């Protein structure tokens, strides 16, 4: 009997080097790495690089936030420091990252 966990796994016919044929489970594609703010794809991240120890862009929030969103965060932080923007005007999701920038 097939394990309940493996019932939904797609299978494909494969031939072994010994000449035997049989169904082998199809490998699932790893999900694409997405930006934490806008949900767009991240460049420089392989889909399999899910671990934080693997190589990723060395930018601020590299591997978490896309460069376009980092640019927006930098602008908002600078405007807040200059007094042109208030904390209430910045989206809450951005505020978390802006505070993390100030801690560095
Ligand atoms: Zn983004």
Indicate the domain borders of the chain.
31-103
**DSSP 8-state secondary structure symbol assigned to residue 42:** P
Distance 44 CA to ligand 1 centre (A): 14
Distance 98 CA to ligand 1 centre (A): 14
Distance 41 CA to ligand 1 centre (A): 8
The answer to whether the CB of 75 falls within 8 A of the CB of 98 is no
Distance 73 CA to ligand 1 centre (A): 10
Q: Residue 49 pLDDT more than 70?
A: no
Looking at 40-66, list the stretches that DSSP marks H as alpha helix, in order from N- to C-terminal side.
none
Q: Residue 79 pLDDT more than 90?
A: yes
pLDDT bin (cut points 50, 70, 90) of residue 58 is confident
Query: What pLDDT, in 10s, does the model give residues 83-101?
Result: 999 999 999 999 999 999 8
Q: What pTM does this model have? A: 0.69
> What contacts 24+ positions apart, CB below 8 Å, involve 86-92?
none
Distance 84 CA to ligand 1 centre (A): 23
Which of 79, 59, 81, 80 has its CA nearest to residue 70? 59
Distance 30 CA to ligand 1 centre (A): 20
Q: Distance between CA 46 and CA 31 in Å, rounded?
A: 10
Distance 12 CA to ligand 1 centre (A): 37
The pLDDT of 56-76, averaged and rounded, is 92
């Amino acid at each position: 009997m097939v394990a309940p966990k493996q019932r939904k796994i797609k299978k494909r016919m494969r031939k072994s080097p010994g000449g035997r044929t049989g169904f082998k489970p199809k490998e699932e594609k790893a999900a694409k790495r997405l930006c934490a703010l806008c949900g767009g794809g991240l460049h420089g991240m392989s889909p399999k690089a899910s671990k934080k120890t693997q190589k990723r862009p060395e930018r601020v929030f590299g591997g978490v936030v896309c460069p376009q969103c980092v640019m927006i965060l930098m602008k908002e932080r600078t405007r807040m420091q200059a007094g042109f923007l208030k904390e209430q005007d910045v989206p809450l999701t951005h505020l978390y990252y802006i505070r993390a920038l100030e801690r560095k």
